[in-house]
Structures are given as structure tokens and as C-alpha cells.
Homo-oligomer: A and B are copies of this chain.
Amino acid sequence: MDLNLMRELSVKTDTKIVLLILDGLGGLPMDPSGQTELEAADTPNLDALAARSELGLSRPVAAGVSPGSGPGHLGLFGYDPLRFQVGRGVLSALGVGFDLGENDLAARVNFATKDESGRISDRRAGRIPSEKGEELVGLLNERLNLDGVEVFVVHEKEYRAVAVFRGEGLSDALADSDPQRTGLEPLPVEPADGSQEAKESARIADSFVEQANEILADQHPANTVLVRGFGMHPALPSFDETYDLDAAAIASYPMYKGLARLAGMQLLKEGEGIAGEFETLEANWEDHDFFFIHIKPTDAAGEDGDFERKASVIEEVDALIPMLLDLGPDALAITGDHATPAKMKSHSWHGVPFLLASPYTLPTADSFGERSCAGGSLGVFEAEEIMGYLMGHALKLNRFGA
């Protein structure tokens, strides 16, 4: 999306936009003659909505390229995912609510198990419970003492945490210490370019690992840490300045909260489960003009290869659609950040079904599915364009040119 064009044309109105993301929504038939998860799901409400909506297939990043959650969502928010790249450490830091400064360096930290020979025997430290993880993070924060930088370790979940290094002249051009496989020694953190900043940052990260090893020496199975996904805050233009939107986000997983915060959205406290997220939407309806709602379990079911469960999560969302429509959104998009076909048990590059409901649509089908979307009036288009369509359908863009 041309963000300058959006900034130039955006106009404040009292219309409301909802972007409902079913993570990993796109799917595939398990065999060529079959249906996809979305096609197979019983979705009377989505189908009725499709019959008065625009349809299309959105492409997340580039032909054949499977996106991670970061690029997948940046595209949905209108940012070129190839231009704005976000390290996993940054997403995690924002996800736990850490107020990341512009010069902070963030990294993912996994507690892990090292055997007597110094090799990694478990990259997740036996999946220690969250209470234990929290206790170890406390120990690290108490005892770590790095030369020249402050360090903050924040617990995420179970064996996962985030480390944030705060100081002058840090760089995220750093390789992971995680060897990715058990039976190997952890790698030293190496600078990924020749800059002085990268060298100095690598030294700091290595000394972090070294001190953590000493602090955790008696904490088997969590007797070491692996660091990866170094990143710094990307300078994303906010939703407010780009689209003149007062945007709110409803998401239950840290990473998606983090992504929404990157775009300057306000995080709303979500209720329990999918229905709870819709209740949060209802409760906050008057206070914002843009809502991003993130539903995770579609992706999780796809990753597990569970076609039926993915279809049934879609059905659960379908049942909540009338509640959403009752709020009267002026422009409503329903799509995913990428496909996670149960057949592939992973994110994929395939086109993602996209539906846009507003009073100004050109309907082409009476069901919501990959193939009805393939024949839709939006064709196959870049996910990065979705915000443009939403702004247009909500009548929030001035005419371009005389």
C-alpha cells in the first residue's frame, strides 16, 4: 500500500471498520477432488454474508512465499512486509507488553537443557511449567550484570522469555545461538555484518548467555538459555497518522498483541475464548473506529493437521457473525494472515479467502470459500491492499485528483 497516498486521502468519519482475522484461514482439499476446510465447514452466516460481499483471494507476501505471523500481519495492516521486517524478539517483547524503545535490542530466550558435554539435549528444557519459567526469569533479572547495557528479561510462557538490551549503539545484525537441533553445542552469537555495533552487540549477547549459564547451573533441566530472533523496533508509521484511525486490537496471543501495538493500536482486554473476543468488541464498540480481531485456533488446528477441528473453529466463528453484524460495522473484512492448510501442517503461500461486506459491494457468489473467492470481483490481490479497500468501503478516503 502507498502509505503516503493513504495519509493524503484519509478523512475522519464516524464510520467503523472491522478487520476479522482467522489466523491461517486459507486451506486446501486433502485430496484434489475434495473441499477445503472453509468450504467443508457449515457456515450459514458467512455464506449469507458472502452473498452480499466482495470476494477475492489475498496473497500475503510474494508468489510461493509462506509468511510468518509478522509479515502476514504487517501486510494486513497495509505495510509492505518486505520493506518493514520485524525480528521475532521484537514481536515477543511487544507481545508481553514491554514498552520497547527505539534503540532497544530484543531477543527470544528459550530455557533449554545442556548435557555434561555441553551439547543441547532439550531445546525446551522439558517444557518447564510457567511458574518455574517465571521463577528463573526472576533469578536472571536479579543477578545479571552486563557491561554498558541494561538488560530486562520478561517471562512469556513455559520455557519462553524475552530479553531486552538497552544501551547506546546496539545492532540487531546478529545470528542466533540456537543450533536448531539437539545433540549440538549452542553457537556463539555472531555479528551478521561487519559493523562495530554488531560486534559489540554480539559481545553483549554472548556475555548474557555466559552469565545465564552460571546463574542457571543448578537448575536442571533449565540449565541454559538459547537466544534467537534479535530485532529492534521497526519505525512503522502508525494507524493514526497513516489512516487517521483510532484503532483497537482484540487478540489473545502475545505476538498478535505485539503486532497491533507496532501499528499503534490500543490493546483491549479480551474475554475468554473466541466468544469473549466478540464480547470485548461489543463492549468497546463506541470507543474506536477501527477494530482488529485476531482468532488463533484456526491456525493451531491447521498446524496440527486437524482438518475437522479447523473446520469446527470456523463454524464457531460463523455462529458469532450475527452478533458482529448487529453492531453494524460499515466495512467488515474477514480473512486470514496466510493459509495454514491442514494438509501441509504449516503456514503456506496459497491465496487466502477474503470477504469484504459494506453497502457498496459487487457480490459474485453465495458462499465463502477458496474457490468462490478465486472467482470474486477482487481477483487475486496483495494482502497489503486490504486496508485500502476497507478505507474506501468505509468512505474514509477522499477522491484522488480533480
Q: Is the CB of A400 within 8 A of B344?
A: no
| Mask: chain A, 1-17; 1 = CB below 8 Å from B; 0 = not | 11001000100000000
Q: Could you tell me the distance in whole angstroms from the C-beta of A297 to the nearest C-beta in chain B? A: 20
Q: Could you tell me the distance in whole angstroms from the C-beta of A115 to the nearest C-beta in chain B? A: 28
Q: Could you tell me the distance in whole angstroms from the C-beta of A140 to the nearest C-beta in chain B? A: 22
Instruction: Decide yes or no whether A302 CB sits under 8 A from chain B.
Output: no
Copies in the complex: 2
A380 proximity list for chain B (CB < 8 A):
56, 377-381
Instruction: Check A67/B401 contact, CB under 8 A, given A379-B57, A379-B374, A380-B377.
Output: yes
The segment from A84-92, A158-166, A216-224 that touches chain B is A84-92
Q: Is the CB of B351 within 8 A of A377?
A: yes
In the complex formed, the residue of B with least CB distance to A376 is B374
Instruction: Decide yes or no whether A349 CB sits under 8 A from chain B.
Output: yes
Instruction: Decide yes or no whether A322 CB sits under 8 A from chain B.
Output: no
Q: Is the CB of B68 within 8 A of A399?
A: yes
Q: Is the CB of A32 within 8 A of B61?
A: no
Q: Is the CB of B399 within 8 A of A67?
A: yes
Q: Is the CB of B70 within 8 A of A401?
A: yes
Q: Is the CB of B400 within 8 A of A71?
A: yes
Q: Could you tell me the distance in whole angstroms from the C-beta of A226 to the nearest C-beta in chain B? A: 15
Instruction: Check A62/B388 contact, CB under 8 A, given A361-B28, A374-B362, A374-B376.
Output: yes
Instruction: Decide yes or no whether A283 CB sits under 8 A from chain B.
Output: no
| Mask: chain A, 372-394; 1 = CB below 8 Å from B; 0 = not | 00111111110001111111110
Instruction: Decide yes or no whether A82 CB sits under 8 A from chain B.
Output: yes
Instruction: Check A347/B390 contact, CB under 8 A, given A1-B63, A28-B361.
Output: no
Instruction: Decide yes or no whether A397 CB sits under 8 A from chain B.
Output: yes
Q: Is the CB of B374 within 8 A of A374?
A: no
Instruction: Decide yes or no whether A229 CB sits under 8 A from chain B.
Output: yes
Q: Is the CB of A401 within 8 A of B363?
A: no
Q: Is the CB of A65 within 8 A of B388?
A: yes
Q: In the complex, A389→B348 CA distance in Å?
A: 11
Q: In the complex, A85→B400 CA distance in Å?
A: 10
Instruction: Decide yes or no whether A371 CB sits under 8 A from chain B.
Output: yes
| Mask: chain A, 314-339; 1 = CB below 8 Å from B; 0 = not | 00000000000000000000000000
Binding site for B on A (CB under 8 A): 1-2, 5, 9, 28-29, 32-33, 36, 51-52, 56-57, 61-72, 81-82, 85-88, 91, 229, 341, 343-344, 346-351, 359-364, 370-371, 374-381, 385-393, 397, 399-402
A33-B51, A346-B399, A348-B392 known; 9 new pairs, CB 8 Å cut-off, are A1-B62, A63-B387, A64-B388, A69-B401, A70-B402, A87-B402, A343-B359, A378-B380, A379-B380
Mind listing 25 A-B residue pairs with CB under 8 Å? Answer: A5-B65, A32-B52, A57-B379, A62-B385, A62-B400, A63-B387, A63-B388, A63-B389, A63-B392, A64-B385, A64-B391, A64-B397, A65-B388, A65-B400, A66-B392, A67-B400, A68-B401, A70-B402, A72-B401, A81-B400, A86-B401, A229-B402, A351-B377, A375-B375, A377-B380
